Amino acid sequence: MNNSPVQNFWQLVSGNADQLLSLVDEESELAHELLEEVQHQLSDIDPHLTVFCARDESGTGIELVFGCDGYSQSIDTVLFLVAAAPKISQIKVLAFNPRIENIPEAIEIGDAVLELNELFFGLRNIGEELHLDLYLDDLPIVDDAPQTDAALMFLDAIVGEYDLMTRIHSVNWLDLPEDPLDHGLKPLIELRKQFDLLRPKRPALGEALH
């Protein structure tokens, strides 16, 4: 009987645990080949699945954080994949990027750098739906621009990836007005406080966030 794609994936991770533990410190060709194979097998499960590998707080192990690139229809797949994970020494498996306490002042992707203080927001309830308006000067035309990805990383850090996808119905990208404070907008660093005040009690699976 053939294994399922999920079983095949966790066999790959378990069988290469030692190499995965060294990935955050290595830039070898072999390490990159393993990461490509990991992502390839994730795509066999669901083309929207992503994984981020980083040292844990102790510095002795790693965390594998799985997400779905903002595609809300793939949330259940992420949860199923993580629930199926075997116990692997020094490897912690997490579903979605959690909110963090120390929000970075800037995020660099490729040649693009987006600073936190460049982003402003408006948050509003329409009925039982929570809508986020995100304002940025020189708003990129294409959806997959580095600035867009960096802005979503800020949102993950401030709100948490799961809440961003399940509690916010839509994210609207808008050009920043000349005087954002005069228009009633707030710096993005203040989003967590307002989100926690307005956060819907029930998940409201919204639009894709990319």
What are the pLDDT digits (tens) for 27-82? 555 567 888 899 999 999 999 999 988 888 777 788 999 999 888 899 999 999 99
**Predicted local confidence at residue 203, as pLDDT:** 56
- Are 39 and 111 within 8 A, CB to CB? no
Contact 39, 51 (CB under 8 A): yes
Please list the alpha-helical segments (H only) found in the chain.
Answer: 5-15, 17-22, 29-45, 75-83, 146-159, 161-167, 191-198
Residues 6+ apart with CB under 8 A from 161: 67, 96, 97, 98
Query: How many other CB atoms are there within 10 angstroms of residue 59's CB atom?
Result: 8
Give the confidence band of 142 by pLDDT, cuts at 50, 70, 90.
low
Burial class (CB in 10 A: 0-12, 13-18, 19+), 204: middle
Pairing status of strand 186-187 against strand 119-126: antiparallel
Whether the CB-CB separation of 185 and 120 falls below 8 Å is answered with yes
